[in-house]
Each structure stands twice: as structure tokens, then as C-alpha cells.
Amino acid sequence: MTCCGKGLHDKFRDGVLASSEEQKGRCVMCRTKYSASGSKEDIEELRRWAEKGKAWAQCMLGCRYAAGAGVDQFYQQARELYELSARQGFAAAHYNLGLIYADGGQGVNQNYERAAEYWEAAARQGEASAQFNLGACYYNGQGVEKSIETAREWWMKAAEQGEESSIRELQVLDKQEGRTTPSFIPKPLECATCYRPHDPPEHRLNE
């Protein structure tokens, strides 16, 4: 949260907001009223946290510069902020840098090798979108040595997180290889406490 610098899981935050009209429009941690994304207050808050060296703020501020949200669009500034964040190991910054080098045209030449390096850094931290993109690099031999097996391994990791593009690519691979048994079968939802499966109506899980 740009107001207090505290974080929490998106699903938990959504649950709190849905259960309390009073909380809507306010930070669930410090109860400060939200600043609209790209507003003057939002940019000032992000800059304050970024100057303190907070990796998440550096990455978010970089996104503002990349999109021209509340600031003049400035790709070089966005990239520099992503790099500062990536040096601290922030997965989203690695992912965004991978996109920049894969696309090219934002002050850098297209370089799939560097894109793959950044995506691998994010993928190893569990970033599902990076796992999918890295799998695609291995499948197409872009920036890395072509390896269908390695592509499958990364797509499996992403699919286990529900990343739909990876699930579709695994289905395509299964068809190409003539597999009669799917290589990926989604796991049923389970209770985080007792591990009983989500099986309505008897064992329906609370959201």
C-alpha cells in the first residue's frame, strides 16, 4: 500500500473490502483513504517509498512512467526504476524487464537472451507469467537452447498456479506427442486447515 508501505495478500484484501462498506476506498492496514492510481498524491507517495529504497515502490513507479500515468511517459526512467527494484530481487521488476527486452523499442534493442535471463529470475520466485514466458522461450529456442522438455517443466509450474496459457500449451504438447493421459490435471481445491476437498454442498469451502 503506497500510504503505509504495508502489504497483504490480494484475496484477503478483497475479502475485507467485500465484508465492510466502511473499508471501501480506504487502506485496510492504516485506514487512510486511497489515492487514485496516477494521481498527484499517488506519484508523491510512490516517490517517497522509492527514495527509501523500497523495491515494490520502485517497480510500481516504473510502471507509472511506462504507462504515462500521472507522469510524462518516459521509458528510460521506467527501465532504470525496474533495474533498481530487480537488484533487490523483486520478481515483478524482473518480469517487466524481460518484457522490455523481448519487445524492444523502449530504448533497448530486442534481446531474447536478456529477456530469458530476467524471466528466469522471476520464474524461480514463482511468478507464473514469467514461468509461462520462459517456457515459450525454451519451446521456440528464443534466447535459450531449444528444449521442449524444459518448456514443459516451466509450463507445469505455471499451470499449477492456474496460469491458463500454460494449461493450453500443455494440452497442445500432449496432442502433438500423442499422449492419452493429460500431463497436467488441475488439483481440486482443498481446505488450508484440514485438507478436505472442496465438494459442494457437503464440504464447500469458505471464500
Residue 128, pLDDT > 70, answer yes
Q: Which residues pair with 33 in a beta bridge?
A: 26
Query: Cβ distance 89 to 95 under 8 Å?
Result: no
Q: Tell me the mean pLDDT in the region 105-110.
A: 90
Using the structure block, give the residue that is written with the C-alpha cell 476506498.
25
CA Rg value for the chain: 20
Using the structure block, give the residue that is written with the C-alpha cell 530469458.
116
In the structure, what pLDDT confidence band is assigned to residue 205 with cuts at 50, 70 and 90?
low
- 28 φ/ψ sector (left φ>0, alpha ψ -120 to 50, else beta): alpha
**Bigger pLDDT: 182 vs 193:** 182
d(CA 79, CA 136): 23
Alpha carbon of 12 to those of 30, 152, 157: distances in Å?
15, 32, 24
Residue 172 parent element (H or E): helix 164-176
- Locate 118 and state its grid cell: 530476467
- Locate 195 and state its grid cell: 485438507
Query: Cβ distance 112 to 106 under 8 Å?
Result: no
d(CA 122, CA 128): 9
pLDDT digits (tens, 9 = 90+) for 16-73: 667 666 667 788 888 888 888 899 999 999 999 999 999 999 999 999 999 999 999 9
DSSP state letter for 28: T
pLDDT at 106: 84
pLDDT at 17: 67
Considering the entire predicted model, what is its pTM? 0.85
Q: Tell me the mean pLDDT in the region 90-118.
A: 96
Q: Which residues pair with 197 in a beta bridge?
A: 190
Give percent of the chain above pLDDT 90: 66
Residue 200, pLDDT > 60, answer no
Residue 138, pLDDT > 90, answer yes
Highest average pLDDT, of 11-15, 23-27, 94-98, comes from 94-98
* SS3 at position 50: helix
pLDDT at 25: 78
Residues 6+ apart with CB under 8 A from 176: none
d(CA 171, CA 71): 42
